[in-house]
Amino acid sequence: MRFTSFLFLSAAAALASSAAWGQTEARQIEFTEFDLDNGLHVILHEDHSTPLVAVTVLYHVGSKNERTDRTGMAHFFEHLLFEGSENLARGEFDSYVENAGGILNANTTQDRTFYYELLPSNQLELGLWLESERMLHAKIEQIGIDTQNEVVKEEKRQRYDNQPYGQLLPTTMAMAYTEHPYQWTPIGSMAHLDAADHADFMEFYEIFYVPENATLSIAGDLDVAETRALIEKYFEDIPRGGRDIPRPTVIEPARTAEVRDTIYGKDRLPLVVQAYPIPAQGMPDYYAVDMLNQVLSGGESARLNQRVVENDQLALFCGAFSFGLEDPGLTLGFAMCNMGVDPSQVEAAMNDEVERMKNELISERELQKLKNQIEYGFVTGNQSMAGIAESLANYHTYFGDANLINTEIERYLAITPEDIRAAAQKYYVPEQRVTLYFLHDPNSQP
Amino acid sequence: MKLISTTLLRRAGFFAMALAVSTLSWGQVDRSKAPEAGPAPELKIGTPTKLKLDNGLQVIVVENHRMPAVSWNMTLDYPPFLETDKAGLTSIASDMMSAGTETRTKAQIAEDVEYLGASFRANARGFFASSLSKHTGDLLRIVSDAILNPTFPEEELEKVKKQVSSGLANTPTSPGEIAGNLVSATNFGSLHPYGEVMTEETLENISRKDLVEYHKTYFRPNAAYLIVVGDITPDEAYAKANAHFGKWYRGDIPYTRIMPAKFPTGNQVRFAAVDGAAQSTINITQPVPFPPGHPDAAAIQLMNSILGGGAFSGRLMQNLREDKAFTYGARCSLSADPVTAQFIAYADVRSEVTDSALVEFMAEINRIRDEQVDSTELATAKAFLSGSFARSLENEGTVARFALNIERYDLPEDYYQTYLQRLDAVTVEDIQRVAKNMLKPNNLNICVVGSPDILDKLRPFDTGNGIDQYDAFGRVRIPRTDAPAGTTVESVVSRHFDAIGGAKAWSKLSGITTEGSVEFGAGMSLQHREDKRFSKKAQAMRTELAMAGQPVMIRAIQPEGGQELQMGNVSDMDAEAVAMMMDYLSPIRLTKMDKLGYEGTVLGQEEVAGEPSTILEFVKGDIKETYWFRNSDGLLIQQQRPSLDGSLVVEKLEMYIPFGDLGLKLPASRSSAVAGQTMTIRVAKASFNPEFDENAFDLQR
């Protein structure tokens, strides 16, 4: 992200994501969608509660589309695309939006790059102009490249190198994937970024930042017909890219033996990480795995917390969550051990709870609890215009069905206790697991 | 139908116009300049309903039926208080507020709430709970039980303490946490509630009794606000609040007078070292006089915004990130606070540019005071803050929060309705005026957490008393140096005894009686008398505290056992405590530590209260005692050793003066921190080798 965070793994984020769950709701989100001739997909949601509008563009490019010798490019590019355009001088992206009383930002994941402006609704046209400038003719100059190169390095130092357990996600991904580009994270390699030249950037722009690879999703205090006219005004004359958009086709080979490793660092408390491969998001089994993780760590009363943290008192926290991605992702289990606790004890307790999931069906009460949690998540989700615009764009991009914002709940509610047990047996396989211990290096000071 | 038709007409008209424009400009959109904004939309700020229960609980309701869900948010408005040697008490109380009641265990509370698909988080200042409307009654039953009847079970407290202690162990590797501790400790100091930092020691001191007392004192309806947002009418909300929180009784909330925060003298660099840190975490900070409702609040917010508080176009971000590329982000913050507000300018920068970054920070802080801001900068800041204000209204809880602030801080009823007008009225002159009032660029705490090798580069920025170094918990770290060659445990101890009359003379004493006073904090003073008999065959000691001649506490100890008399009750002391007191009894104990099984070491030298001192440490098993001897005269001036309850107590020994005609010196003042207060024992009179009566060491004689 340009100024917040990657879709990064931290204990807090994981717990929050398992608790807050849910992308849909009982209230129907109505929307209009259409394609321009150049292939740009547009989704509009009208809601007049507050005089605000969220203008967002999702480009279907993330770190998994990067060359192996140019990792970090997608995220770096996100930074560069705030530098200016043929009609916007350096710094003007920010000043136009902020002068209009809005905010703007962007973020990059393994699968997509997402830009947004949150504006007063009378500034909708400004947002469209800015996003069309970014798509049509962004200006990439050496001064911007040099500055953002340093800024991204600072971002990496701040978010990873100088952060407790900052290497957790990069290390886990590197161990869990040997062939697929998910083996590196969006921050990528600083050496690769140093090696990239102007031609590399222009090529990246011409391949990926084209209307047929983008979704313009707008939600808020707007009139659909007026907005459509304005979109046509600013976006219709942007030419198609027309080149093939490279997408990884490599399939990560199934592991046949568990991978184990120990990483030593400054951090004092031992951390245990377990990663198992799971199906791509949206696949039927993905929902079963997600439900399974909800049983294991959906809240304080969930099994892992009750067992490992409360009863056995082995850890500060312990959880499992689905790291769902466009290609097959991971389910990540993790525990931060209490001081002086042997991590193998914690690992054994986690494995024990997974075994229970494989051997026993969840109870009637647990099933009802899951359903209540899902219902609450869907009813209360989708409150902010920015959130709605992003969800609509995600559902369209990944599944070709924006209406999943209203219907995905059915996929969850259709999962049975038998499905959950079957998912445990099928995906929580010890031979396919990566187990990592992050331990304190006694030679590191303090 | 009429309603629809006018809307349709308006839209059709606009649409027709837009079509015309887009046809005309087909292929020739004027991209060279930004489009004009439409007419500014009207911002509607709802008015919540305010109600009050008979017990004083104030209920603020925002009715909104967009979703079938209701949230309940309680805020207890009590003034912050000092936690002293129990720093972290309110933090632990937060973790313990839903840890069990008479009828529900911690696990049951979590299970019952989560079964409903609901959420509930309690803390030391209230709670947040939310569920679908249909589960409201069930949820409130659990929540009110947790909030009104917590039992703070001992075993849950132990669990929480173990976890928090594990978390504290990680602090020294987290630059962000260290920086937070450093800022609080230096801006406010340990005598201000905001300056207290929880450590392993203060955590250990927190007991179940403290939590019970804390809850009894501060969880009172007359200090509470309950904000209800969602699918509920004010009448229903009132009825539910009354049903679940109506039988909660009022209580007097104590008021603690808080010392005003002090500015540092000059610019003070405060440094905490993290070996191998990839970046320096910079916080340039000072306390500021900015309570909520300050007449210049809008100008202060705008000034902070221009300098770097929020917008990407802020000066700090533009200078340190976009121009210099020192950092991923540089910002500042300045928010109103009812007790003491603080200004902080902050960034994480790579180590090698730490000094260059400080130069830029100082330049920007000075520039906003010395020069008027540009009118376009001011316009941007106004647009940014009005935009944030509008965006905040997207969340329905915002108007409830406005209502809460109006009540808590006694703001005018239309404070938020008129906010945008006040913002608009601010001039460039106002910005400079408030910058001069708020920011004092020669009295800053320049806090840096980073690699030790950058320390030298920070020296030019310190115009105060030299760079102070801190540990991870904001405690001053005084560098220890080696003691001069030849310093031994024996030489240090015998120098001390030489200074107080000689070890030989002390070894011949049969006993001492001292009389004087003991003071607790500033308020309470009692008479104090201590009798000690050293003779090997009849070791004994007796301590008596009295008020106006009437004993209020007596402790009498002999090797075979000890007793305490307190408030008329006699209790036996446990054998371990008796043994410890007997062990401590000998006046020449320090000369024979090796015989008592302790291993002594000279740890080095460090300053104690500004006096260079030599440190001795004695270890026996898991017992550790530490003693500081002043280099100038050799006297023991501070000691740290286990006390009766097992905690480590630091005692300061001052004013060695000769009592009687033997030339033997005793410290006339001994002070230590006990239960958050300073306890000082003062000796007014001492007699050496007194004649003890037969019943001199009886509990009641």
Dmax over CA atoms of chain B, in Å, equals 117
Summarised one tens digit per residue, pLDDT across range B371-411 is 999 999 999 999 999 999 999 998 888 988 998 999 999 99
Q: Would B85 be classed as within a structural domain? A: yes
Decide if B107 and A124 are in contact by the 8 Å CB cutoff.
Answer: no
Output the domain CATH number for residue A75: 3.30.830.10
The verdict on B532 and B431 lying in the same domain is no
Band (pLDDT 50/70/90 cuts) for residue A385 is: very high
| Cα–Cα distance, B570 to A99 (Å, whole number) | 76
Residues 20-39 of A with CB under 8 A from B: 25-27
B339, B367: one domain: yes
For position A440, what pLDDT does the model report? Answer: 85
Query: Is A223 in contact with B11 (Cβ distance < 8 A)?
Result: yes
For residue range B588-606, list pLDDT tens digits in order. 999 999 999 999 999 888 8
- Going by C-alpha positions, the residue among B171, B51, B79, B86 that lies closest to residue B473 is B171
Give yes or no for B116 touching A (CB within 8 A). yes
| In a shared domain, residues A276 and A230 | no
- Asked if residue B341 is part of any domain, the answer here is yes
Mean pLDDT across A371-383: 89
Beta-carbon separation of A125 and B38 below 8 A = yes
Tokens of B353: 């540019």
pLDDT in tens, B425-460: 999 999 999 999 999 999 999 999 998 889 888 988
DSSP states of B332-391: EEE---SS-EEEEEEEEEEGGGHHHHHHHHHHHHHHHHHSPPPHHHHHHHHHHHHHHHHH
Chain B residues whose CB is inside 8 A of the A164 CB are 170, 173-174
Specify the pLDDT at position B15: 31
Distance from CA of A73 to the nearest CA of B (A): 17
Residues A222 and A263 in one domain: no
Contacts of B589 (CB under 8 A, 6+ apart): B583, B596
E strand or H helix at A37:
none
Q: Which one has a higher pLDDT value, B315 or B482?
A: B315
pLDDT of residue A19: 34
**Beta carbons of A21 and A373 less than 8 angstroms apart:** yes
Per DSSP bridges, beta strands B445-450 and B268-273 are parallel
CB count within 10 Å of CB A428 equals 23
- Host domain of residue B149: 49-175+188-245
- Domain-located, residue B696: no
Residues in chain A, overall count? 446
Nearest CA in chain B to A445: B275
Q: Is the pLDDT of residue A273 over 60?
A: yes
Q: Taking 70 as the threshold, does the pLDDT of residue B24 lie above it?
A: no
- Domain containing A266 equals 259-440
**B1 contact A CB<8A:** no
Query: Under a CB-based contact definition with an 8 Å cutoff, are residues B403 and B416 in contact?
Result: no
Nearest to B107 among A91, A233, A310 (CB): A310
CATH number at residue B202: 3.30.830.10
* Domain end point (choices A189, A219, A235): A235
Could you tell me if B279 and B239 lie in one domain? no
Pair B456, B496 in one domain: no
User: Of the given ranges (A162-176, A361-375, B119-133), which has the lowest mean pLDDT?
Assistant: A162-176
Specify whether A377 is located in the same domain as A306: yes
Q: Give domain status of residue B684, yes or no.
A: yes
User: What residue in B sits closest to A368 (Cα-Cα)?
Assistant: B115
Q: Are residues A86 and A212 in the same domain?
A: yes
Residue B464 near residue B307, CB atoms below 8 Å: no
The whole-number pLDDT of residue B521 equals 62
A123·B37 Cβ contact <8 A: yes
- Domain limit, last residue, from A203, A220, A235: A235
Judged against a pLDDT cut of 90, whether residue B1 lies above it is answered with: no
B224 with B276, same domain: the answer is no
What pLDDT, on the 0 to 100 scale, is given for residue B674?
63
Cα end-to-end distance, chain A, whole Å:
31
pLDDT at B9 over 50: no
* pLDDT tens-place string over residues B129-147: 999 999 999 999 999 999 9
Q: Does A233 touch chain B (CB under 8 A)?
A: yes
C-beta neighbour count of B14 within 10 angstroms: 14
Q: Does residue B19 sit within a domain? A: no
Cα Rg, chain B, nearest whole Å: 32
A243, part of any domain? no
Provide the pLDDT confidence category of residue B189 given band limits of 50, 70 and 90: confident
Residues A276 and A376 in one domain: yes
Helices (H), B418-464: 419-425, 428-438, 455-458
**A68 and A155 share a domain?**
yes
The residue among B407, B435, B470 that closes a domain is B470
Residues near B143 by Cβ (< 8 Å), separated by ≥ 6? B72, B113, B120, B122, B127, B129, B244
- B291 and B168 both lie in a single domain: no
Burial of B260 (0-12, 13-18, 19+ CB in 10 A): exposed
Q: Kindly tell me if the per-residue pLDDT of A17 is higher than 70.
A: no
3-class state of residue B644 by DSSP: coil
Range B37-56 burial, b when 16+ CB lie within 10 A, else e: beeebebeeeebbebebebe
Asked if residue B256 belongs to a domain, the reply is no
The verdict on residue B478 lying in a domain is no
The backbone torsions φ and ψ at residue B21, rounded to the nearest 5 degrees and listed phi first, read -60, -45
CB nearest to A51's CB, from B33, B115, B390: B390
Q: Is the pLDDT of residue B2 over 70?
A: no
Specify whether the backbone of B561 is left (phi greater than 0), alpha (psi in -120 to 50) or beta.
left
Is A153 in the B-facing interface, judged by CB distances under 8 Å? yes
Whether residues B370 and B430 fall in one domain: yes
Give the CB-side neighbour count of residue B453, counting CA atoms within 13 A. 9
Q: Is A51 on the interface with B (CB under 8 A)?
A: yes
DSSP H helices, B439-574, are 455-458, 489-499, 503-507
Q: What is chain B's mean pLDDT, rounded?
A: 88
- Asked if B463 and B498 sit in the same domain, the reply is no
Look up residue A274 and give its amino acid.
Q
Picking from A369-378, B202-211, B604-613, which range would have the lowest pLDDT averaged per residue? Answer: B604-613
ipTM of the complex: 0.84
- Are A229 and A263 members of one domain? no
Judge whether B30 lies within some domain: no
Query: What pTM does this model have?
Result: 0.74
Instruction: Determine the Cα angle at A28 with ends A26 and A34, to 5°.
Output: 145
Cβ separation of B40 and A120 shorter than 8 Å?
Answer: yes
Last residue of a domain, one of B406, B440, B470: B470
Question: Which residues are CB-contacts of B470 (< 8 A; sequence separation ≥ 6)?
Answer: B181, B182, B185, B186, B270, B271, B272, B476, B477
> Which residue of B64, B70, B114 is the best one to mutate when testing the A interface, meaning the one whose CB has the most A CBs within 10 A?
B114
Mean pLDDT of B415-430: 95
Share of chain B above pLDDT 90, in %: 63
A154/B391 touch (CB, cutoff 8 Å), yes or no:
no
Give Cα B212 distance to the centre of its chain. 20
Residues 6+ apart with CB under 8 A from B305: B311, B314, B381, B384, B385
Q: Using a CB–CB cutoff of 8 Å, tell me whether A151 touches chain B.
A: yes
Residue of A nearest to B31 (CA): A87
Task: Tell if the CB–CB gap between B383 and A98 is shorter than 8 Å.
Answer: yes
Task: Clarify whether residues A203 and A327 are in a common domain.
Answer: no
Would the CB atoms of A225 and B67 count as touching at under 8 Å?
no
The answer to whether residues B350 and B202 belong to one domain is: no
* Contact (Cβ atoms closer than 8 angstroms) between residue A221 and residue A48: yes
Amino acid identity of B240? K
Q: Is residue A23 part of a domain?
A: no
Q: Is A359 on the interface with B (CB under 8 A)?
A: no
Residues of A in contact with B276 (CB under 8 A): 266, 444-445
Distance CA B284, CA B447 (A): 6
pLDDT at A6: 34
Residues 403-442 of A with CB under 8 A from B: none
Distances (CA, A) of A273 to A25, A169, A268, B601: 32, 10, 16, 43
The residue in chain A having the minimum alpha-carbon distance to the alpha carbon of residue B38 is A122
3-state secondary structure A235-263: HCCCCCCCCCCCCCCCCCCCCCCCEEEEE
Could you tell me if B386 and B507 lie in one domain? no
A243 and chain B in contact, CB less than 8 A: no
Assess if residue A77 is contained within a domain: yes
Residue A148 falls inside a structural domain: yes
pLDDT range class, residue B224, cuts 50, 70, 90: very high
- A225, A265: one domain: no
* Residue pair B435/B426 in contact by the 8 Å Cβ criterion: no
Mean pLDDT to the nearest integer, B259-281: 86
| Residue A12 within any structural domain of the chain | no
Q: Is A367 a domain residue?
A: yes
Q: How far is the C-alpha of A182 from the C-alpha of A327, rounded, in Å?
A: 9
Cβ–Cβ of A373/B21 closer than 8 Å? no
CA distance A378 to chain B (A): 10
Those residues whose C-beta lies under 8 Å from the C-beta of residue B227, and which sit 6 or more positions away, are: B59, B60, B61, B62, B72, B73, B74, B75, B397, B400, B401, B403, B404
The angle subtended at Cα A331 by Cα A408 and Cα A58, nearest 5°, is 50
Q: Which of residues 524-543 of B touch A (CB under 8 A)?
A: none
Domain check: are B451 and B495 in the same one?
no
3-state secondary structure of B114: helix
Least confident of A175-189, A248-262, B282-296, B560-574: B560-574
pLDDT for residue B612 = 86
Cβ-defined contact of B170 to A269 (cutoff 8 Å): yes
**Which residues does chain B have within 8 Å of residue A230's beta carbon, measured at their own beta carbons?**
18
Q: Are residues A407 and A317 in the same domain?
A: yes
Q: Is residue A96 part of a domain?
A: yes
Q: How many domains does one find in chain A?
A: 2
Question: Rounded to whole angstroms, how far apart are CA atoms B389 and B399?
Answer: 11
The length of chain B is 701
Answer yes or no: do B337 and B409 share one domain. Answer: yes
Q: Which of B682, B658, B687 is nearest to B670 (CA)?
A: B682
Residues 545-604 (B) with a CB less than 8 A from some CB of A: none
Q: Is the pLDDT assigned to residue A4 strictly greater than 50?
A: no
